[in-house]
Structure 1
Amino acid sequence: MNGKHRTARRTVLACALALGLGLGVVAEASAGAPRSVSGASSDNLTRIADFYGTYIDAVTDENSGGLPDGLRAHYLSTAFQKRLAAWESREHANGVLRAQDVPAAWKVTERGTNAAGTTEAVVTLTWGGGVTTEVVVDMNRDHRIFRIGDTV
């Protein structure tokens, strides 16, 4: 076999190997179990997670119009909305996110629910570069957030 044929053969084998490896990666990636998310509208932890997920999407999306304000009106108690507006004016930042930027990811972890039906959760916000911050969120039994503050 001359040199040209060997080079052509190697090229064909290399392409076949690359294609085979590529298909293996695709098959391996698609072989994982499907993800699922569940919740209940009666559960405060679900509501806190729903609020943060939707709020972050609305703030991120340029065409969301007044959706962030609508979400605040729906999920935050009236008294807290006023306190939050005062905090934002003083701090020049988004009071829900406690920042001027929007996080790339979020996670909500329940700390507990007391006898009065108040749920406390920690929201971990992940920013660019993997930096995280945490805020404590309290929701009452009427499913309204009445406090967002620093973790203790």
Structure 2
Amino acid sequence: MAAGLALALGLGVTAQASAGSPRSVSGKPSDNITRIADFYGAYIDAVTDEGGDKLADELRKHYLTPAFQKELAAWEDKNHANGVLQAQNVPLAWKVTDNGTANYTEAVVTLTWGSGTTKLIVDMTRGTHKIFHIGTTGVEAG
């Protein structure tokens, strides 16, 4: 009999897999780590899929504070890159890890590229469940 494997993706989010059985992913809307993971999963799908620009814009409107949407647009104009991903390309994979804090939720989002990873810090309000900051950690692995 094959042993099961459980991987913690964040608070309230778990993927489970066993040899020969399907994986499952769970989460809850009250958990900000779930919300950040949902946003990055849907956003990366949207920018990867042909014609997904409208969906990517709608996801930004839903998950980001209005003030941060403006700040991100200015960053994108200056850097000629996607502000959510802090890059010009789309990653091959992503992982969200709770980084904790007292007044808001801070997560580390690890984006995996063909040549390594980039780590982003993503901050979300506890009350409105909106992202108000995305920035790089300054650490990249090759």
The TM-score range, normalised by the shorter chain, is: 0.7 to 0.9
The alpha-carbon distance between structure 1 residues 95 and 65, as it changes in their structure 2 partners (threshold 3 A), is closer
Tell me how far apart the structure 2 counterparts of residues 58 and 64 of structure 1 sit (CA, whole Å).
5
TM-superposition CA deviations, 1:25-60 (whole Å, max 9, x none): xxxxx9434211110001000000000000000000
- Residue in 2 that maps onto 1:139: 124
The reply on whether 1:48 has 2:33 as its aligned counterpart is: no
1:91 match: 79
Match of 2:68 in 1: 80
Greater fraction strand: 2
List per-residue Cα deviations over 1:54-102 (Å, max 9, x = no partner). 0000000003240000000000000000000000000000000000000
| Aligned residue identity for 1:134 | K
Q: Write the distance in 2 (CA, Å) between the matches of 1:147 and 1:63.
A: 26
Could you tell me which of 101, 106, 110 is aligned with 1:120?
Answer: 106
The 2-side partners of 1:38 and 1:105 are apart by 18
Structure 2 counterpart of 1:59: 47
Give the drift of 1:128: 1.6
Distance (whole Å) between structure 2 residues aligned to residue 82 and residue 31 of structure 1: 46
Extract structure 1 runs of 4+ deviating beyond 2 A: 30-34
Amino acid at match of 2:67: A
- In the alignment of these two chains, the number of paired residues is 120
Give structure 2 stretches of 5+ with no counterpart.
Answer: 1-17
1:150, distance to aligned residue in structure 2 (A): 1.4
Amino acid at match of 1:136: I
Q: Which runs of 5+ in 1 are unaligned?
A: 1-29
Give the structure with the larger helix fraction: 1
Q: CA-atom RMSD, angstroms? A: 1.4
Structure 2: distance between partners of 1:65 and 1:84: 16
What SS is found at the alignment partner of 1:151? strand
Q: Which amino acid aligns with 2:110?
A: T
Deviation at 1:151, TM superposition (A): 1.4
Q: Is the 8 A contact 2:47 2:53 kept in 1?
A: no
Percent identity between the aligned chains? 69
